[in-house]
Amino acid sequence: MSFVLQPWQLLLVILAGWVNRQQQQVFEYLRTENQVLKEKVGKRRILLNDDQRRRLKHAGVDVVRLPPRSPHLTPHIERFMRSIKEECRGRMIFFGEQSLREAINAFCEHYHHERNHQGLGNHLIDPGDEVGITEGAIACRERLGGLLRYYYRQAA
């Protein structure tokens, strides 16, 4: 009995190798960026100049200036980052920066509009119109291919 790969099997092997190389490149890029930030910043805060703040504002990022010596303001950000890692980033394979951005945008939509938060008494941050409806068929909204799910009642 001879072992011969079919053309579609060969294509899958080549595709798997390409995906593996792309993942390794993304991981290496992230490791390099993390190392550069650690060397540049260390234990200090990141200080932005006015030009950097302007560019961030133009990109839609609100820069919140923290008062000096305020270590108790970071747990909220750390918890949000942990949620992204556990619920989204740790369960997916990304093929570049664009797919990572799309996944994080979908997660942020889910986080702010569809996910219950224990710190808010298991309520939503920004509830939609469907919240509180007691009659109607139950529907499910899926994001990230079913990784994030939100059940709600459709208006009758």
Task: Return d(Cα 118, Cα 105) in angstroms, integer.
Answer: 22
Residue 43 tokens read as 């234990």
Q: 106 with 148: CB under 8 angstroms?
A: yes
For the stretch 38-80, pLDDT in tens is: 666 665 556 677 887 787 788 777 777 777 777 676 777 778 8
Cα distance between residue 85 and residue 66, in whole Å: 24
User: Residue 44: what pLDDT?
Assistant: 58
Of 14-18, 44-48, 51-55, 150-154, which range is least confident? Answer: 44-48
Rounded to two decimals, the pTM is 0.52
**pLDDT at residue 11 in the model:** 83
pLDDT score at 137: 87
Handedness of CA 101, 102, 107, 109 (dihedral sign): positive
pLDDT at 40: 64
Sign of CA dihedral 47, 49, 50, 53: negative
How high is the pLDDT of residue 71? 67
Average pLDDT over residues 149-153: 86
DSSP 147: T
Whether residue 141 has pLDDT greater than 80: yes
Residue 138: enclosing H or E segment and its boundaries? strand 138-143
Q: Pick from 99, 103, 102, 109: which is nearest to 88 by CA?
A: 103
- Residue 135 has what DSSP assignment? S
pLDDT in tens, 84-139: 888 888 888 888 888 888 888 888 888 888 888 777 788 888 887 787 788 888 88
CA distance 74 to 53: 19
